[in-house]
């Protein structure tokens, strides 16, 4: 999918960089135009600690400027009295103002920035002795998944950053350990409300690759020996998507949430930086290391709390290059999680991919390989293991 008017890589790179610049400019503009919200802080506990003072009204911290406290109360007399008491205490103990300042700043920070992470370990084993009558082959499987979210949320904007890494290996019979799962992606997504609570201007950066080499195993028909061919590696492929557009977000209580994003300007870059991996298998021209595309993207996410301990998530991403609008790349993911208790859970995930740029080889009647074009890809994973939230 190489955009016809952009034949050389240098110009393609400019398109991607231009799209990235537009997205970052939009994010910066939204931050600048976002009015600063007064941070509310309850000083009730601090007030109670003041000597010989009876608290009979609620107070709120509005702003901290150096040594100045601005307080809000229904009774201005109480405000003046408290300010005088604070001044006296600050003169007696200079550390008090710093202590209050740090606690207030920390509380304000916690309200705006939040984070959540999870770490999972899964293990399975099947074993037979040599007298097992029905046959079989021993197998061991190990996998680990880490997911971390850091976000900043205000009344008018939402900024979310996601880091995800999953890796797994399997050993079957006398064969060595072989990779069964390998995924690394980073997502940075900013949105700002423009129409009510549901419509937002949005910009997103999505980077995806893998850590370890991917090997395809096959048996040579002449020698009957197993062959190992490297078909992927770190940054081979590596994919970078930069998109901007409109985001619609709605939530029904705490059980159902839907988001949909329409991006008329989306830059997509596919990189194959390992010379031992065939770039043509990922849509690149012979001898090239980067494929740049400009197109339209639509994606949606549905999250549902089916029961107290059962959640379901459905995400679909559609991309079409402006050069070949009839070809649509599809990435469809589902995840069902059953939480057994605080430390153990079961999850079942599926991933369907159709990428017009990814070519596969077929084998003809003579045993010779030939290019068979793009094919639907499907993966499913069932895990039972330990799960920690931090």
Provide mean pLDDT across the span 64-84.
50
d(CA 270, CA 382): 29
Question: What whole-number percentage of the chain has pLDDT above 70?
Answer: 68
First-to-last CA distance in the chain?
42
pLDDT category at 167 given cuts 50, 70, 90 is very high
Q: What is the per-residue pLDDT for 369?
A: 64
Q: What is the per-residue pLDDT for 69?
A: 47
pLDDT category at 158 given cuts 50, 70, 90 is very high
d(CA 158, CA 189): 8
Q: Is the pLDDT of residue 253 over 70?
A: yes
Q: What is the per-residue pLDDT for 22?
A: 47
Provide mean pLDDT across the span 265-294.
95
Q: Is the pLDDT of residue 298 over 90?
A: yes
Query: In CATH, what class is 114-389?
Result: mainly beta
Q: What is the per-residue pLDDT for 16?
A: 46
Q: Is the pLDDT of residue 238 over 80?
A: yes
Q: What is the per-residue pLDDT for 347?
A: 93
Q: Is the pLDDT of residue 348 over 70?
A: yes
Q: What is the per-residue pLDDT for 211?
A: 96
Q: Is the pLDDT of residue 331 over 60?
A: yes
Please give the distance of CA 109 from its chain centroid, rounded to a whole number: 22
pLDDT category at 116 given cuts 50, 70, 90 is very high
Q: Which residue has the higher pLDDT, 86 or 338?
A: 338
Tokens (6 digits) for 205: 């950066």
Apex CA 40: angle with CA 34 and CA 45, to 5°? 160
Q: E strands of 272-368, at which residues?
A: 290-307, 310-321, 328-339, 344-354, 360-363
Rank 24-28, 36-40, 239-243, 340-344 by mean pLDDT and report only the highest.
239-243
Considering the chain, what is the average pLDDT of its residues? Answer: 80
Q: What is the per-residue pLDDT for 43?
A: 46
Window from 71-75, 87-91, 209-213, 240-244 with minimum mean pLDDT: 71-75
13-67 residue pLDDT tens: 444 444 444 454 444 444 444 444 443 444 445 444 444 444 444 555 444 444 4
198-229 residue pLDDT tens: 999 999 999 999 999 999 988 877 788 888 99
DSSP annotation of 136 reads: -
Tokens (6 digits) for 108: 């304000």
Q: Is the pLDDT of residue 309 over 70?
A: yes
pLDDT category at 82 given cuts 50, 70, 90 is low
Calculate the alpha carbon distances from 129 to 23, 97, 171, 172 in Å.
60, 72, 16, 14
Tokens (6 digits) for 43: 């000083």
Domain range list for the chain: 41-92, 114-389
Question: What whole-number percentage of the chain has pLDDT above 90?
Answer: 55
Window from 218-232, 293-307, 341-355 with minimum mean pLDDT: 218-232
> Does pTM surpass 0.85?
no
Q: What is the per-residue pLDDT for 31?
A: 47
The H or E element spanning position 126 is strand 113-126
Q: What is the per-residue pLDDT for 370?
A: 62
139-150 residue pLDDT tens: 999 999 999 999
Instruction: Specify whether the CB–CB gap between 112 and 160 falls below 8 A.
Output: no
Window from 30-39, 93-102, 329-338, 352-361 with minimum mean pLDDT: 30-39
């Amino acid at each position: 999918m190489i955009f016809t008017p952009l034949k050389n890589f240098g110009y393609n790179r400019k398109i991607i960089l231009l799209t990235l610049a537009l997205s970052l400019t939009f994010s910066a503009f939204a931050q600048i135009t976002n009015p600063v919200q007064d941070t509310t802080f309850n000083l009730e506990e601090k007030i109670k600690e003041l000597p010989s003072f009876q608290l009979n009204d609620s107070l709120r911290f509005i702003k901290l400027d150096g040594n100045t406290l601005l307080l809000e109360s229904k009774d201005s007399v109480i405000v003046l009295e408290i300010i005088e008491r604070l001044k006296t205490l600050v003169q007696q103990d200079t550390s008090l103002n710093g202590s209050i300042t740090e606690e207030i700043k920390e509380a304000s920070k916690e309200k705006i920035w939040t984070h959540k992470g999870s770490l999972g370990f899964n293990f399975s084993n099947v074993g037979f002795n040599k007298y097992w009558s029905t046959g079989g082959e021993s197998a061991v499987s190990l996998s680990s998944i880490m997911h971390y979210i850091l976000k900043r949320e205000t009344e008018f904007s939402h900024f979310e950053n996601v880091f995800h890494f999953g890796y797994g290996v399997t050993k079957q019979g006398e064969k060595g350990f072989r990779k069964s799962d390998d995924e690394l992606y980073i997502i940075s997504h900013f949105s700002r409300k423009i129409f009510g609570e549901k419509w937002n201007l949005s910009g997103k950066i999505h980077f995806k690759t893998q850590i370890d080499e991917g090997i395809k195993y096959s048996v040579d028909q002449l020698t009957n020996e197993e062959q190992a061919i490297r078909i992927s590696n770190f940054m081979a492929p590596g994919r970078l998507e930069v998109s901007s557009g409109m985001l619609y977000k709605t939530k029904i209580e705490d059980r159902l949430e839907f988001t949909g994003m329409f991006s008329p300007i989306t830059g997509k870059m596919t990189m194959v930086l390992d010379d031992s991996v065939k770039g043509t298998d990922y849509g690149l021209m012979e001898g090239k290391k980067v494929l740049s595309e400009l197109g339209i993207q639509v994606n949606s996410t549905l999250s549902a709390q089916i029961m107290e301990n059962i959640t379901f998530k459905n995400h679909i991403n559609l991309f079409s290059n402006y050069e070949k609008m009839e070809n649509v790349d599809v990435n469809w993911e589902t995840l069902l999680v059953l939480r057994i208790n605080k430390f153990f859970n079961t999850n079942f995930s599926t991933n369907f991919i159709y990428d017009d740029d990814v070519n596969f080889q077929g084998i003809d009647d003579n045993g010779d390989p030939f290019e068979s074009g793009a094919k639907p890809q499907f993966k499913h994973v069932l895990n039972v293991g330990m799960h920690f939230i931090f």
